[in-house]
Amino acid sequence: MTAPEDFDWDDVADDVVQRAVEKVAIFSNPNGDVVIRQERMWNEEDDPFIIIARGNALRAAQAILEAAGMGDIQFHRAVRGGYVDVDVPGVDDGDAMAEREEKPKPEPLSNAERQRRFKEKRRAETAAGNGGNEVGNETGNGDGITWPDGDELPLGAANG
């Protein structure tokens, strides 16, 4: 047997039967976020913890499963006596990723195209009777301002 000061744990790594594991608690905080808290080790003053926003909880759970070699586990939700699969945000299967890569990204609209679309929408709203009915907007005929109750105020009347 070796002297205590000459002992090297790396030399006996295959013989270790129990490894130190601190306690881990998972709970929600008052904001609804997920808190993962680990019991402090002998040389730490406080318990280390991680806060995961509620919206990222499902993705974090999937990442933990993947890191543990269980990435093939899928999530489902009980609905009306049955179950439906739950998609994990940020996790794609190969086919969905391939479809996304094949689809070209649309070109941004030019100023002229945006203006043309705005004018078309405005004309359609006016023709359908939906345009120009907000307080302070001129009607399409230029005769005055149409108020929400349908009364018209002639131009210039507002100034006195």
Is there a contact between 90 and 100 (Cβ–Cβ < 8 Å)? no
As a dihedral over the C-alpha atoms of residue 135, residue 136, residue 140, residue 143, rounded to 10 degrees, the angle is 110
Integer Cα distance of 4 and 11 in angstroms: 13
pLDDT at site 144? 55
Domain chopping of the chain, boundaries: 22-93
Instruction: Per-residue pLDDT tens, the chain, 160 aa: give them.
Output: 556 778 888 888 888 887 788 889 999 999 999 999 998 888 889 989 999 999 999 999 999 999 989 988 888 888 888 888 888 877 655 554 455 556 677 788 888 888 888 888 888 888 777 655 444 444 445 555 555 555 555 555 555 4
Residues 6+ positions from 143 with CB-CB distance below 8 Å: 152, 154, 155
Question: What single DSSP character describes residue 29?
Answer: -
Kindly report the pTM of this predicted structure. 0.46
- Contact status, residue 72 vs residue 57, Cβ threshold 8 Å: no
Query: In the prediction, which pLDDT does 30 show?
Result: 94
Q: List Cβ neighbours of 154 (8 Å cut-off, separation of 6 or more).
A: 143, 144
